[in-house]
Structure 1
Amino acid sequence: MFQLLGPGGPVIAVVGEDVVLPTHLKPNISAEDMRIEWFRPQHRDPLVHLYLLGESRNEPQNPSYSGRAALFPEELRKGNTSLRLGRVQVSDEGQYSCYIQSKSDNNYRIMVSLEVRAVGTEPVIFREADEEVEVGLLCESKGWYPQPDLIWQDSEGHNLTTEKPEILRDSLGLIVIRTRVVIKREGSSTFTCRVLQQKLHEEKVTEFYLLDACQSRPWRAAFAVTMTALTLLGIVQCVFIHRWKKSHHPPGIRNETQRKKWKYID
């Protein structure tokens, strides 16, 4: 007689990394001649890995676990029936069952829960609209699992979020979260987009500094100064040319010879 033991709680895995779902026999008798079957209950293709008659037999295996699921052959003689799962995916999260059957037809079954985690990116802020009295901002963060919270805050820490975040999934099943906020121009101030995943104890923050209406339109002031300068320059140039002509033109032209001599001035 023996017992099949497992972890005392959920196993935590990070997307893209390997994880071990630990189970073992007590006492530590050899499991080399036993049937060891790992499967996912209530799945259409439940088989994750099957060890039978001293070798792996995965003909009906769920395709998503092909090349990723394996036992520890060198540890079977010590009663180690753990499953090694490579390159964890979001879809791997859930319940796994380990079933053991000995030659004497004694069988045991234990459930192991796998929870998947992924820490996303720093939030990125985009300016979607820019008007005289208000500005529309979009904050986006990618690569999270499970879903985090995303909020906008002002410089005093007040929550500015007024709409539910938009939730998307990328090709790996990871979460892309984004939300928008409209801010009125009431002087310069700092606004914060904060992404928080409480289960992971992770927080990422990006700040956005909004200038007031005058400072945010420096090109208008520069344009006005430039046009004024050009206008003054034109006036000065006209006055200079007029005075130059007057100072270089003879007071009178007495004959045709003099007229031809000064013709180039006119």
Structure 2
Amino acid sequence: MNVFTGSRQTNFKGAFRHIICVNAALVKSTKAFWLCSNLICSSQPIIALAGNDVILPCRLDPPISASSRAVEWTKPGLDPEYIHVHQDGRLVYQSQNPLYNYRTALFVDQLINGNVSMKIFEVKISDAGKYKCFLPSLWKDSFIQLTVGKSDNSEMRIDKINKATSGVILQCGSTGWYPEPEVFWLDGEGNLLSAGPTETVRGPDDLYTVSSRVTVEKRHSNSFTCRVQQNSTNQIRETHIHVPEDFFMAPSSCTGWTIFSGIVSFVLYLELSFHKLKALVRLLLDV
């Protein structure tokens, strides 16, 4: 019969664990100390750019040695899910997912200090996702999120500059992004401009191509900026353009041309109507 129930049982377990931890610290007993150590990985997403190396930080706290313990790094949802299995002082290649062959490592000389972090070399876009660190002998695990971005080789360009009665139409494009970025237009003073919806295409390599257009009016500097940015990876690319003054049609000229065109059209209409009326009168007189 269990005498302790509910919160009393929980409090008893907590007090019992605290007593063990205190005694373990006093006698420096490693066998008992593992009960008090937690496996802690970064609670914040780790950000890396494709092609670079990245460390997924994970440690035992308070620190205890993991030198003689198995350390398993997995990626849930992957088949096989094992990314790096360290056992008996070495990597178990047989269980490793082929996508990570020769691309992972633990800091073996720091295992004695409880550092079970994993390093991934030459990160790929497909490496993005959630990872799990698990120590079977301690029955402890922890998760960490990896975000992978790419923009270092992205191409920025001004595609078109077209004249329009309402201003000048600018079009900007950029390729080679991951994850999907946003596009913004700014004037020479850094003010955000209202642009149309961004066109986005995802290629077979999972990289994004984006395109955006905006209609701008004549301003003090006639300088404009197309900015492409990816917030989760803090990547920004910009391209600048100065629109020549003669690209902008003067409003007075546009208005005058419109009035002139209207007058000409009206005169032609009257002349055509007059000829039709004259022909009709002749027809009636002949009858």
Matched, 1:146 2:179: yes
| CA distance in 1: counterparts of 2:247 and 2:131, whole angstroms | 62
1:165 aligns to what? 199
85 and 200 in structure 1: CA distance in 2 versus 1, 3 angstrom threshold: closer
1:53 aligns to what? 88
Cα drift, residue 142 of structure 1: 3.1
Cα drift, residue 181 of structure 1: 4.3
107 and 200 in structure 1: CA distance in 2 versus 1, 3 angstrom threshold: closer
Number of residue pairs aligned between Structure 1 and Structure 2: 211
Which structure's CA Rg is the greater one?
1
1:117 aligns to what? 149
2:47 aligns to what? 12
TM-score (norm 1): 0.65
Query: Where does structure 1 lack aligned partners over 5 or more consecutive residues?
Result: 217-266
Correspondent of 1:126 among 146, 159, 163: 159
TM-score (norm 2): 0.61
Matched, 1:195 2:228: yes
68 and 125 in structure 1: CA distance in 2 versus 1, 3 angstrom threshold: same
**Residues 125 and 140, structure 1, Cα contact 8 Å, conserved in 2:** yes
202 and 18 in structure 1: CA distance in 2 versus 1, 3 angstrom threshold: closer
Question: After superposition, where does 1:183-222 map in structure 2 within 5 Å?
Answer: 189-211=222-244
**Residues 155 and 176, structure 2, Cα contact 8 Å, conserved in 1:** no
Cα drift, residue 137 of structure 1: 4.1
Q: Which moved more, 1:153-162 or 1:80-89?
A: 153-162
Query: Matched residue of 1:147: which SS?
Result: coil
| CA distance in 1: counterparts of 2:63 and 2:184, whole angstroms | 52
Question: After superposition, where does 1:7-156 map in structure 2 within 5 Å?
Answer: 7-102=42-137, 106-120=138-152, 121=154, 123-127=156-160, 130=162, 137-153=170-186
Cα drift, residue 79 of structure 1: 2.2
Cα drift, residue 184 of structure 1: 8.3
| CA distance in 2: counterparts of 1:64 and 1:27, whole angstroms | 33
| CA distance in 2: counterparts of 1:69 and 1:116, whole angstroms | 16
| CA distance in 2: counterparts of 1:123 and 1:97, whole angstroms | 37
**Residues 194 and 206, structure 1, Cα contact 8 Å, conserved in 2:** yes
| CA distance in 1: counterparts of 2:213 and 2:74, whole angstroms | 43
Identity %: 31
132 and 113 in structure 1: CA distance in 2 versus 1, 3 angstrom threshold: closer
**Residues 198 and 211, structure 2, Cα contact 8 Å, conserved in 1:** no
| CA distance in 2: counterparts of 1:154 and 1:111, whole angstroms | 44
**Residues 15 and 90, structure 1, Cα contact 8 Å, conserved in 2:** yes
Query: Where does structure 2 lack aligned partners over 5 or more consecutive residues?
Result: 1-31, 250-287
Cα drift, residue 100 of structure 1: 0.4
| CA distance in 2: counterparts of 1:28 and 1:159, whole angstroms | 53
| CA distance in 2: counterparts of 1:145 and 1:214, whole angstroms | 35
| CA distance in 1: counterparts of 2:247 and 2:229, whole angstroms | 34
Aligned-residue Cα RMSD (Å) equals: 3.3
147 and 73 in structure 1: CA distance in 2 versus 1, 3 angstrom threshold: same
| CA distance in 2: counterparts of 1:79 and 1:179, whole angstroms | 50
- Higher-helix-fraction structure: 2
**Residues 124 and 141, structure 1, Cα contact 8 Å, conserved in 2:** yes
